[in-house]
């Protein structure tokens, strides 16, 4: 990771002035959409400002590119989650389809849960997915992963705890 230090308003202004055009063009070529590029360039600078860390002059572009790449990945992941959610609710009768507000809240919760699951150890994440999304019993999962049912129970506890922690810390469960 590039070296970074705390930034003053003037340093942020200089960083923006010197590199915004380059970053925007890089994102536009990568995304193929000027509106999305503008949004992500803006979000990149917000992320840098929010972090309180500032790249050195020599590492500014690589640091901005690293932050922007992370935001591009986040955007693609969110779009994939959103599409999966929309596909799932499309299969339900119109009577039980959630309102736009409920859909937005559900999507935000799914993105948070996805983020929490991606921070887990691979076996814990796989256990959660096999149990919650594929409906497999703990004994089936234990056999598949070559571990005990007690281990599967611990993995599920860890995964559920991570999901609850992220939802509670974001205010989704109060």
DSSP letter string, 28-72: HHHHS-HHHHHHHHHHHHHHHHHHT-EE-GGGHHHHHHHHHHHHH
Give the model's pLDDT for residue 154.
96
Examine the pLDDT at 54 and tell me if it is beyond 90: no
Query: Tokens at residue 9, please?
Result: 């308003």
Higher pLDDT, 63 or 167: 63
If phi > 0 it is left, if psi is from -120 to 50 it is alpha, else beta; for residue 135 that is left
| Secondary structure E strands in the chain | 4-5, 54-55
Rg of the chain over all Cα atoms, to the nearest angstrom:
21
State the angle between helix axes of 34-51 and 60-90 in degrees (0 to 180), rounded to the nearest 10. Answer: 120
Examine the pLDDT at 3 and tell me if it is beyond 50: no
Give the model's pLDDT for residue 173.
56
Give the model's pLDDT for residue 4.
45
Examine the pLDDT at 172 and tell me if it is beyond 70: no
What is the CA angle 117-145-166, rounded to 5?
Answer: 15
């Amino acid at each position: 990771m590039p070296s970074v230090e705390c930034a003053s308003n003037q340093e942020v202004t200089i960083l923006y002035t010197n590199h915004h055009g380059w970053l925007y063009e890089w994102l536009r070529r990568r995304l193929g959409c000027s509106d999305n590029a503008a949004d992500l360039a803006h979000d990149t600078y917000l992320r840098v400002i929010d972090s309180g860390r500032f790249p050195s002059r020599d590492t500014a572009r690589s640091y901005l590119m690293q932050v922007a790449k992370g935001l591009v990945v986040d955007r693609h992941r969110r779009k994939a989650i959103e599409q999966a959610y929309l596909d799932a609710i499309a299969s339900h009768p119109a009577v039980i389809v959630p309102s736009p507000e409920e859909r937005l809240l559900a999507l935000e919760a799914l993105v948070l849960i996805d983020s929490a699951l991606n921070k887990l150890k691979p076996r814990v994440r796989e256990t959660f997915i096999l149990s919650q999304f594929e409906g497999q019993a703990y004994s089936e999962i234990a056999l598949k992963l070559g571990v005990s049912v007690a281990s599967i129970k611990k993995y599920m506890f860890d995964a559920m705890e991570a999901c609850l922690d992220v939802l509670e810390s974001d205010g989704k469960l109060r």
